[in-house]
Amino acid sequence: MRSLLLILASLGITILCWGLYGPVLHWGQEGMFSGPTEGAPPHLARLRPFVCVGLAYFAIGVIVPALLLFLRGEKGHWTLTGIIWSLAGGSLGAIGALGIIMAFNFGGRPVYVMPLVFGGAPVVNSFLTVYWAKRIREVGPLFLAGLVIVLLGAVTVLLFKPGSGGAASEAGWLDWLLQFASIATVLLCWGAYGPVLHKGQAAMEQSRLRPLLCVGLAYFAIAVVGSYALLLGGVEEQSAFAWQTREGILWSLAAGAAGAIGALGIILAFHFGGKPIFVMPLVFGGAPVVNVLFSAWVKGQMSALHPAFVAGLILAVAGSAMVLVFAPKGTLPAKKPAKKPEDAPTRAALRSPPSDEA
């Protein structure tokens, strides 16, 4: 029971943080945009908010774990396999975060971008986990039904979120292709994030701080070093690190902090016994609900919630419960029967060579 409570608490941290990640990052992108606002939106910065996300991940995911490992230590140890898998998990998370930014900058709207992301990523996650665990035959109809209900609930919640109406953006064919390429990138990266990170943590004997440190290093390499390399290489962007954009900088750093704390929540859930096959679907089922509720509260639209939104919320919760309960759990190895004390001399005699004494 204690392990279950710790798993649920860890999942709650991730769902809350990742649910707030999108709106907060969007504020950061708006606040760091320094170009003219005339013309068609979106008026969003790309690379410099991404740099802030990477810096926040470096502070929370690298500096803090390194200090704790140095001062207190932790069970487990560094392994090359664990480092590679954890760095790969961090890279997937960072590339997925960039894919979200690019999808919006190519004209994508949250009304269909986020349902595709939060609805499709757990599908990729679940089937990748089942395939790696060689448990395809253990997947039952109730688990699949719960997964489908989670997806339907997440899509319904986001399609009928407050203020989702409005005319569609007049995007060209190239923009549409770039939008869906960005979304597909996020689906693959965030869908594979949990199973890959779980492999890294398992290879380091369920260490918590070491995989998080690797995730922070991967984010720093991609979001900070990679973005600055593009900016120095001549990529033009209408954004700036300046006093006038300080609010955007702070919001972008806050988004990165939320993402890093959410990643820590996943690692803790794995540490306390959670498995990717139900941890990640629960996260991707709950995070969009938090996202929509927070956005509605900020805009003062809580009283205007569509009935379909409430129905989708119920579906997401019910489906998440089914995924948790009916996830393939495998079978434990059979315990060997305990040896009876009185049988020990007999077995010893059977193993002893015959005596030459008459």
Q: What is the DSSP string of 236-272?
A: --SB--SGGGHHHHHHHHHHHHHHHHHHHHHHHHHHT
Helices (H), the chain: 2-32, 47-58, 64-71, 80-105, 110-133, 141-159, 173-203, 209-219, 227-232, 246-271, 276-298, 307-326, 344-351
Does 60 reside within a domain? yes
**pTM, full prediction:** 0.78
Domain for residue 356, yes or no? Answer: no
pLDDT value, residue 133 = 79
For residues 196-209, average pLDDT: 90
CA 174, chain centre distance (Å): 29
Instruction: Tell me the residue length of the chain.
Output: 358
Hey, which of 77-81, 121-125, 289-293 has the most confident mean pLDDT?
77-81
Residue 26 domain-assigned (yes or no):
yes
The answer to whether residue 203 sits within a structural domain is: yes
Rounded CA separation 328/175 (Å):
41
Q: How many domains does the chain have?
A: 1
CA distance from start to end of the chain: 62
Residue 343 lies in a domain: no
- pLDDT-derived band of residue 357, with 50, 70 and 90 as boundaries? very low
Q: Specify the range with the lowest mean pLDDT, choosing from 88-92, 109-113, 235-239.
A: 109-113
Kindly state the average pLDDT of the residues 139-158. 82
The domain of 207 spans 2-330
pLDDT at 253 over 60: yes
User: Which long-range contacts (C-beta less than 8 Å, at least 24 apart) are formed by 171-179?
Assistant: 171/106, 171/107, 175/106, 175/107, 178/102, 178/106, 179/103, 179/106, 179/107, 179/108, 179/113
Judging by beta carbons within 10 Å of its beta carbon (0-12, 13-18, 19+), is residue 352 exposed, middle or buried? exposed
Q: Which of the two residues, 299 and 189, has the higher pLDDT score? A: 189
Lowest-confidence segment of 1-5, 306-310, 339-343 by average pLDDT: 339-343
Average pLDDT over residues 179-202: 90
**Is 128 part of a structural domain of the chain?**
yes
Lowest mean pLDDT among 114-118, 138-142, 251-255: 114-118
Residue 224 in any domain: the answer is yes
Tens digit of pLDDT for each residue in 14-70?
999 988 988 898 899 989 998 877 766 678 898 999 999 999 999 999 999 999 999
Residue 106 lies in a domain: yes
The reported pLDDT for the residue numbered 344 is 46
Average model confidence (pLDDT) for the chain? Answer: 82
Looking at residue 216, its pLDDT comes to 92
